[in-house]
């Protein structure tokens, strides 16, 4: 029995060592500051002493310099996935592979708390707050390594950020406290358009909109029809989304140009279109005149085409009948048509021109047919 127990104990110890002992990790990813690009944040508590005096010695408490910390954007310092969410302290831990993790604490809210949800570097994780630290909104940030289970043998690491901020261990309490750091944009601003208006098509409803949203932005935007907006200052500072109304372009075929500023000054210029706006009904077509025809025979009708100067003429609705104010849904795309065989009587010929944008002109009497 003693030999069997000894074998069991050795097996358990070996398994425990494989689970909880530190394992060789891959190179840590390059980190970016976990704050919004262009915003200046101050280290209000640095390495060592205070609440940063255990495994998380190399942690930073950050507060925004020129704006409210509460509700400020917090972003992923490197690409990774959610490893853990703790609601009480507002803590997200991202796993970056190779037993390397980053931790973001005191969040007011999180964009997602679903374990395994992947984030790109710079993508919004949530918004700063004071969960677990009432009355003192700030972001507590730590990068650390751990064993394979993600919890044991946690050890924070000194921080270095791609923006050029290197924060080594220099000894003492509150290391690097008071330093101000400003995040950069990972890439130039990106724009996503959303609209029922499709390029190279004509529309008659000038109230329709082109909506757009941006990413990696925050420095503002400018918009202009048919020419690029100036690159000096944005029309709408700090705006990250917006819209353009078609009627503001005026009638004709137009292209929307949009210039977006990142918070660090990077700019992107994009365009949407061209899109046609035509709110003017087409003019009346030419006359067919007075026509005489024999009973029981079709009649060939033709007229001078309606000249729509914008979207162009799509065709005509035609009425041939006794009613002087008659209308019908009979349609032809050409400026000519052959009637069915007609019985004796007098017929009024009326036309309504339609343009490509969907505008309809007035019904007009353009002639008559007398059948004997």
The sheet carrying 124-128 orders its strands as 73-75, 124-128, 107-110
267 shares its domain with 315: no
DSSP labels, 300-340: EEE-PPP--SSS-EEEEEEEEES-TT-----EESSSEEEPP
Percent composition of the chain: helix, strand, coil (DSSP 3-state, to 5): 5, 40, 50
Query: Which residue from 303, 300, 323, 301 is spatially nearest to 313, judged by alpha carbons?
Result: 303
> Are 69 and 169 members of one domain?
yes
The dihedral over CA atoms of 13, 15, 17, 20, expressed in degrees to the nearest 10, equals: -120
* Domain shared by 68 and 200, yes or no: no
| pLDDT for the residue 87 | 96
CATH of the domain at 327: 2.60.40.10
Instruction: Check if the beta carbon of residue 193 is closer than 8 Å to that of residue 211.
Output: yes
CB 44 within 8 A of CB 62: yes
| Contact (Cβ atoms closer than 8 angstroms) between residue 177 and residue 43 | yes
Q: Which domain holds residue 307?
A: 289-371
Domain end point (choices 211, 243, 277): 277
95 and 166, same domain (yes or no)? yes
* CATH number, domain containing residue 248: 2.60.40
Alpha-carbon distance 269 to 222, whole Å? Answer: 9
> What is the pLDDT at residue 150?
84
The per-residue pLDDT for 25 is 38
pLDDT value of residue 16: 37
Question: What per-residue confidence (pLDDT) applies to 188?
Answer: 85
Same domain, 163 and 208: no
The domain boundary residue, chosen from 142, 157, 182: 182
pLDDT of residue 307: 95
**Comparing C-alpha atoms, which of 34, 155, 25 is closest to residue 96?**
25
Residue 47's nearest CA partner among 34, 63, 58 is 58
148/272 same-domain check: no
Q: Which of 146, 126, 147, 130 is nearest to 138 (CA)?
A: 130
Name the nearest CA neighbour of 353 among 369, 331, 337: 331
The structural domain count of the chain equals 3
- pLDDT, one tens digit for every residue, the chain (372 residues): 444 444 443 443 333 333 333 333 345 788 999 998 888 999 999 999 888 989 999 999 999 999 999 999 999 999 999 999 999 999 999 999 999 999 999 999 999 999 999 998 888 899 999 999 888 999 999 999 999 888 899 999 999 998 889 999 999 999 999 999 999 877 788 899 999 999 999 999 999 999 999 877 777 899 999 999 999 999 998 788 999 999 999 999 999 999 998 766 789 999 999 999 999 999 999 999 999 999 999 999 999 999 999 999 999 999 999 999 999 999 999 999 999 999 999 999 999 999 999 999 999 999 999 999
User: Does a structural domain hold residue 4?
Assistant: no
Are both 266 and 360 inside the same structural domain? no
pLDDT of residue 263: 66
Omega cis (within 30) before 94:
no
C-alpha distance across the termini of the chain, in Å: 124
């Amino acid at each position: 029995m003693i030999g069997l127990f000894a074998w069991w104990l050795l097996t358990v110890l070996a398994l425990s060592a494989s689970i909880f002992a530190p394992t060789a990790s891959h190179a840590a990813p390059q980190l970016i500051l976990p704050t919004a690009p262009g915003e200046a944040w101050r280290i209000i508590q640095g390495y060592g002493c205070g609440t940063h005096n255990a495994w998380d010695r190399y942690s930073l408490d950050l507060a925004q310099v020129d704006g409210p910390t509460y509700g400020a954007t917090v972003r992923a310092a490197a690409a990774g996935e959610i490893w853990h969410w703790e609601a009480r302290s507002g803590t997200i831990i991202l796993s970056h592979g190779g037993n390397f993790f980053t931790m973001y604490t005191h969040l007011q809210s999180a964009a997602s708390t679903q374990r395994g949800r992947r984030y790109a570097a710079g993508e919004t994780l949530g918004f700063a707050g004071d969960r677990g630290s009432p009355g003192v909104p700030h972001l507590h940030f730590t990068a650390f390594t751990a064993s394979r289970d993600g919890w044991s043998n946690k050890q924070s690491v000194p921080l270095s950020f791609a923006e050029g901020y290197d924060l080594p261990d220099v000894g003492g309490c509150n290391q690097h406290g008071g330093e101000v750091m400003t995040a950069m944009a990972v890439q130039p601003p990106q724009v996503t358009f959303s609209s029922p208006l499709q390029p190279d098509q004509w529309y008659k409803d000038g109230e329709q909109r082109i909506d757009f949203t941006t990413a990696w932005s925050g420095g503002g935007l400018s918009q202009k029809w048919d020419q690029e907006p100036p690159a000096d200052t944005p029309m709408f500072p700090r705006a990250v989304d917006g819209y353009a109304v078609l009627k503001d372009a005026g009638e004709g075929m137009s292209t929307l140009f949009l210039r977006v500023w990142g918070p660090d000054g990077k700019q992107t210029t994009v365009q949407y279109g061209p899109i046609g706006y035509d709110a003017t009904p087409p003019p009346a077509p030419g006359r067919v005149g007075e026509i005489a025809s024999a009973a029981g025979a079709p009649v060939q009708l033709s007229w001078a085409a309606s000249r729509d100067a914008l979207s162009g003429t799509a065709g005509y609705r035609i009425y041939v009948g006794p009613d002087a104010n008659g209308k019908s849904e009979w349609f032809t795309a050409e400026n000519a048509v052959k009637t069915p065989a007609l019985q004796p009587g007098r017929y009024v010929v009326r036309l309504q021109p339609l343009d490509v944008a969907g505008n309809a002109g007035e019904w007009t009497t353009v002639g008559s047919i007398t059948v004997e």
